[in-house]
Structure 1
Amino acid sequence: MELTTWLNELLSDNLIFTPQTLGYYWEGLVTTTQLVFLSLLAGLVLAVPLAIGRSSGRRWISLPIYAYTYVFRGTPLLIQLYLIYYGVVFFDGIQETFLWPMLREAFYPALIAFTLNTAAYTTEIFRGAIKATPRGEIEAARAYGMSQALMMRRIILPSAFRRALPAYGNEVIFMLHASAIASVVTLMDLTGAARFVYARYYAPFEAFLFVAAIYLCLTFAILYFFRFLEKRLLAHLKPA
């Protein structure tokens, strides 16, 4: 009886689930989704050629890429975000260029930091998948007279993508969870919306538990999507 009374009082007196606060949460959800999706897309585009170069036998190609991945995987994402967000103003003449209207907004420095970070991790994921290509597939492609570029496009990359899919799914979930730090640079993402509602209504449990539930739903959606892809792309590896 006391529990029912407490729930009724919570629902009747709670002000954090009004249309106004739900609008804040929706704005944060849109911002988080855009930030994670765009950073993953740009990072994937960067990671494919970088992984090819990273697996190259030419050290003058692979070593600079290794240095980039080592730095961005070896330092916290929060530090990278701070350096890009606060350090961009120290470049001489940047405020007079066409880039300044974008860089002075919190979204684009966060997008750059997240893109460079996920590109470093994805590069190493794809590099390992490329190195794990069975020798027989490469020899068969050479026997057909394929060039190195054609073999990379038709044989190695599709095979490597299938092998890298489980690890890349974990990277996508990691980036979703890591996006919560974007609020420290005044970006109104999901966590930023929860902090705003908490500061306004002094309701930390309701605000952050609601956002945690949203992150949980997004995580399960990503897991389901990648499991679906794995079933479709790796179906030939399952026993009959």
Structure 2
Amino acid sequence: MIKLFDQPDNTWELIANGLPWTLTLAGSSLALGFFLAIGLALVRLSPYRPLQALAYAYVYLFRSTPLLVQIFLIYYGLGQFEAVQQSFLWPLLREAHWCAILALTLNTTAYTAEIIRGGLLAVPWGQVEAAKACGMSTWLRFRRVIFPQAIRQALPGYGNEIVLMIKSTSLASTITILDMTLIARKETSATFSIEPLFIAAAFYLVINFVATRGVMWLEYRLSPDLREAKTGRTLPDQDVANAH
């Protein structure tokens, strides 16, 4: 008979031992994927058709195949090639945690690139033209005008990607990564109780709560209109309209 909530007091501590792995997988993949996604999004918007096609193929491939399959292909598949075994990357690729980070990074890069691309396309072209008229260089326009606005536009969608990636780290347990999910599964098999799974779910719930609140705070800090609305102040153009 399955037992419910009849576990020893150290069950929380046991599952918490996998928390560093969960945070490491999520943090590393999101950080690396974000910077790779910026470059990929710019390539997607470049005027060079061959580069556009390659970037589109990458995005289509990783968005159209299951993440679990990608993890298996990288962990089990790359070792089948002798060239990979003899390369300088083999000391990393033979380790499960590096394979998991690689798979998660490549996957989130594809999704994040499309989110950032949408943010870049949402920047009003008139502001870009105005920056050109002011004599700004291409890099200065991107850094001071285009990218800040694109990030504000993309932040809600990227917040969803953060949540999805945190949850996706649980798939790393299938290649022996001792994260919270694998520990919970082992405890459930050993005790025939589903409490460890509830505890693991509670940890993921708290992590995602903190992550979503962090995204909301960042969105608030990057959006002057939200701050103005909260304080009851009006924007400059609204002040002019009210004056009339």
Q: State how far apart, in whole Å, the 2-side matches of 1:106 and 1:213 are.
A: 26
1:130 paired with 2:120, answer yes
2:150 to 143, 160, 164: 160
Q: Which residue of 2 aligns with 1:3?
A: none
Q: State how far apart, in whole Å, the 2-side matches of 1:22 and 1:158 are.
A: 41
1:211 paired with 2:200, answer yes
1:92 paired with 2:82, answer yes
Q: Which residue of 2 aligns with 1:236?
A: 225
Q: State how far apart, in whole Å, the 1-side matches of 2:46 and 2:86 are.
A: 40
Question: SS of 1:145's equivalent?
Answer: coil
2:162 to 172, 193, 200: 172
Question: SS of 2:204's equivalent?
Answer: helix
Structure 2 length normalisation: TM-score? 0.87
Q: What is the deviation of 1:97?
A: 3.9
Q: State how far apart, in whole Å, the 2-side matches of 1:54 and 1:91 are.
A: 31
Contact 2:32 2:105 in 1 (8 A): yes
1:14 to 7, 11, 23: 7
Contact 2:4 2:195 in 1 (8 A): no
Q: State how far apart, in whole Å, the 2-side matches of 1:90 and 1:14 are.
A: 42
1:147 paired with 2:137, answer yes
2:20 to 4, 8, 30: 30
Residues 62-81 of structure 1 aligned to structure 2 (within 5 Å): 62-81=52-71
Q: What is the deviation of 1:42?
A: 0.4
Q: Which residue of 1 aligns with 2:47?
A: 57
Contact 2:7 2:195 in 1 (8 A): no
Q: State how far apart, in whole Å, the 1-side matches of 2:139 and 2:51 are.
A: 16
Alignment deviations for residues 70-98 of structure 1 (CA, whole Å, 9 cap, x no partner): 11011111111111111111121433444
Q: State how far apart, in whole Å, the 2-side matches of 1:14 and 1:138 are.
A: 60
Q: State how far apart, in whole Å, the 2-side matches of 1:53 and 1:83 are.
A: 26
* Structure 2: gaps of 5 or more residues: 235-244
Q: Which residue of 2 aligns with 1:119?
A: 109
Q: Which residue of 2 aligns with 1:201?
A: 191
Q: State how far apart, in whole Å, the 2-side matches of 1:169 and 1:84 are.
A: 26
Structure 1 length normalisation: TM-score? 0.89
Q: State how far apart, in whole Å, the 1-side matches of 2:93 and 2:175 are.
A: 12
Higher mean displacement: 135-144 or 89-98: 89-98
Question: What is the number of residues matched between the two proteins?
Answer: 227
Q: What is the deviation of 1:23?
A: 4.4
For 2:216, give the aligned amino acid: R
Contact 2:22 2:180 in 1 (8 A): yes
Q: State how far apart, in whole Å, the 2-side matches of 1:229 and 1:235 are.
A: 11
Alignment deviations for residues 19-43 of structure 1 (CA, whole Å, 9 cap, x no partner): xx44431221110000000000000
Off by >4 Å, runs of 4+ in structure 1? none
Q: What is the deviation of 1:196?
A: 1.2
Alignment deviations for residues 197-219 of structure 1 (CA, whole Å, 9 cap, x no partner): 1122221x201001111111111
Q: State how far apart, in whole Å, the 1-side matches of 2:4 and 2:16 are.
A: 22
Identity within the alignment, %: 44
